[in-house]
Amino acid sequence: MMNQLPDEERMVIDLVKSIVRKEIAPRAATIDELEEFPWDVVTRLATQGLFGIFIPAEYNGSPTSFRTFLFVVEELASACASTAVIYGTQANCVSPILGSGTEEIKQKYLPDLASGRKIGALAITEPEAGSDAGSIRTTAVRKGDRYILNGTKCFITSGNVAGTILTYARTGGPGPKGISAFVVENEFPGFSVGKVEKKLGIRGSTTAELIFKDCEVPLENRLGEEGDGFGIMVRGLTKSRFTVGAISLGIARGAFEAAVRYANERKQFGKRILEFQGMQFMFADMATKIEAARSLVYRGGALVDAEEHEYAVLASMAKLFASDIAVEVASMAVQAFGGYGFIRDYPVERSYRDAKITQIFEGTNQIQRMIIGRHFIE
């Protein structure tokens, strides 16, 4: 698939591969161990213009295809899932602003997001609204030329470091039709960060509680009209499910490649363990499933680039299949390492922990199965 990309986009991938190999992979274990946001890595990606590849040139971006963006995400995730999640979340914040923001909003926020001067976050989930995003309780009451937001968001990726937070709140009655979308700055009066979570995996990608207590948001920071928020949310999540698919694919590929190297070196009973048929069968299954996941993810990227609009079911399929494969492949990679796979000195232990969240965020895999299944009701 790389050969199908223009030369300038292949150059982007080559640049990312070099950064990952020389700078991110050697830091990945430390990023995980410290459980801190990797500002040095983010700054490195930003100075190379990589945060701008999903932003048009008129907003200081350096746009490429969506498929190239997915290649970058996969490559980052193959070495450090935390970095890939941070990078993908930035795009998730940008996409709704591009699709539904006024020109004034785009000019105000996109250049800083493109340069990495500001980190973006997406504030949807609440204590009582996870998979059921249409039941969010955070309120936004209009008072003159501003909205007053009150409520709490939880499990917000990059929430404690983000300067630009795309926030969904209720401006009307119950249900999806009462939801609107707002661009919130972390310096707005009434905004604060609560608990920063301790997590099983993706520990360098911070996850925080956000508190809105009479938070003042200018009227012009609403995206679309009142009540448009749920539609904006769904469009954004549909596209971002391919991103999760790419993250999953990268985790699986990284674990597989580590296991291949190990199985070609480790000897038992006088033979390299990959010479045993039982191990070959396991590696054959891993490789085949990774390729199947890759086909789903990058077919989705091609549809987005072609500006096809009917890809919601494929997005759910890509997210569902790739994330399930990430967990399965990471588990088998640990098994291939044997006892060493359970030790933090080896990367597959981290891959195993990182993989699990891909089955949960951007809509659990149970939700994805519901979306896919309902498509066939006549």
163, with CB counted inside 10 A (0-12, 13-18, 19+), is middle
**Annotated catalytic, 362?**
yes
Contact 166, 123 (CB under 8 A): yes
166: closest CA among 178, 177, 179?
A: 179
Q: Which one from 8, 126, 362, 378 is the annotated catalytic residue?
A: 362
The per-residue DSSP string of 109-144 comes to: HHHHHHHTSS-EEEE--BTTBSS-GGG---EEEEET
207: left (phi over 0), alpha (psi -120 to 50) or beta: beta
Name, in order, each residue with C-beta under 8 angstroms of 291's C-beta and a sequence gap of 6 or more: none
Chain centroid, CA 356 distance in Å:
13
Cα–Cα dist 163/367, whole Å = 30
Cα–Cα dist 149/157, whole Å = 20
Catalytic residue positions?
362
